[in-house]
Structure 1
């Protein structure tokens, strides 16, 4: 692991809920007040749409020096986007192993930020700088993701992912689970925002549920998404009758 805790460094009087978004988001409020402690090499952020998990994942990536648009660490942002107000204030308490990377110059940092909605453009940028062996534009979305996982998720570093399952089949998700386990065992750290009960089943991972309550650590079997998927697969009609027109 590289990071033990993330927190927000704010001047006195800034970041109050009255200042608007993102300070009104419950998980951001809790981050400001308490910070976020990491207890395992792999941390999953799980929550409904609009809960703030993607906002949190992006800010953690930006704070570490990963391209805010998606992509690698170790160089100036490839996109024209500046760090968000939250990402620009993000700070970390590193582990002994992560101290040189977190506190050193940007060029010492290793990692990758993969966000589903910008992945194709980000991966094309990786190809232009010879960080990928093939052009993702000539591949399916899922194949491009897997290429990045195999070739860019290879070093000890921080890997932040925002809904990577969006382009992956069942078997590809299983491949990603195996890669996460391998990376975590090798000293890397992974933070993944997801809706996937398959990914979150990784043994030993910490699951942080994000919602109106803020943030709390839960077990896989306690997740609402796990319960819903189990019920749906057992009897789809019990759910579909509420959303389909009669007849």
Structure 2
């Protein structure tokens, strides 16, 4: 593991303004976020703040907020978010060198909507034709060394089978000393054995088991009987 805790540096802010008004950000300010496993999944509805959290984590580690690695100049020319500016880390034992030395940091911030563009800017041009195939080719050829890998909904371009392959890549990263923090809606990815799952929402943040996830319950009931849901939506 690279980091064991993320926290917000003390300072003034307005609780009624974004991002400080988001419940999971308020919880981060109060308690910080402790990482207890090499792979952490952040799960929540759209608008719950999970993407806000992962982007701030990437920015604080020096990763391109547009999507990209630590040693690539920012393509978006965006200033860091307020949360990214004030986020700090406590390093894990195996991550102290990266925490202390900017040049020693390794990792990648993967956003579903900019992933292939970010990879191509860094000289990696997968020959695969489809978006999903190119996405997986990036994991096979680029995500190889220990570092911090932050992902925002990587399942967006992937089929069920490709999601299973992605689980294998994430697990391999974890086994070789890397750390992965991933925002996702996927019950497939979050089933990775040994992963820590943090559910974000109006309650802030809380750790849950896979079988306790609301999204798992919804998918299970939908697959069992779609009409339970669809009768309220379509004529």
Structure 1: runs of 5+ lacking an equivalent: none
Aligned with 1:51 (options 48, 52, 61): 48
Once the 2 structures are TM-superposed, how far is the Cα of residue 126 of structure 1 from its aligned partner? 2.1
Which residue does 1:108 correspond to in 2? 104
CA distance in 1, matches of 2:111, 2:78: 14
Aligned with 1:36 (options 26, 33, 37): 33
> Do structure 1's residue 141 and structure 2's residue 141 form an aligned pair?
no
CA distance in 2, matches of 1:15, 1:191: 26
Report 1:95-244 matches (<5 A): 95-105=92-102, 107-127=103-123, 132=124, 134-135=125-126, 139-244=129-234
CA distance in 2, matches of 1:103, 1:81: 25
TM-score (structure 1 length as normaliser): 0.92
DSSP 3-state at the match of 1:15: coil
CA distance in 2, matches of 1:91, 1:152: 26
What is the CA RMSD across the aligned residues, in angstroms?
Answer: 1.3
Structure 2: runs of 5+ lacking an equivalent: none
Is this contact kept in 2: 1:59–1:90, CA < 8 A? yes
Once the 2 structures are TM-superposed, how far is the Cα of residue 189 of structure 1 from its aligned partner? 0.2
Number of paired residues? 235
Once the 2 structures are TM-superposed, how far is the Cα of residue 79 of structure 1 from its aligned partner? 2.7
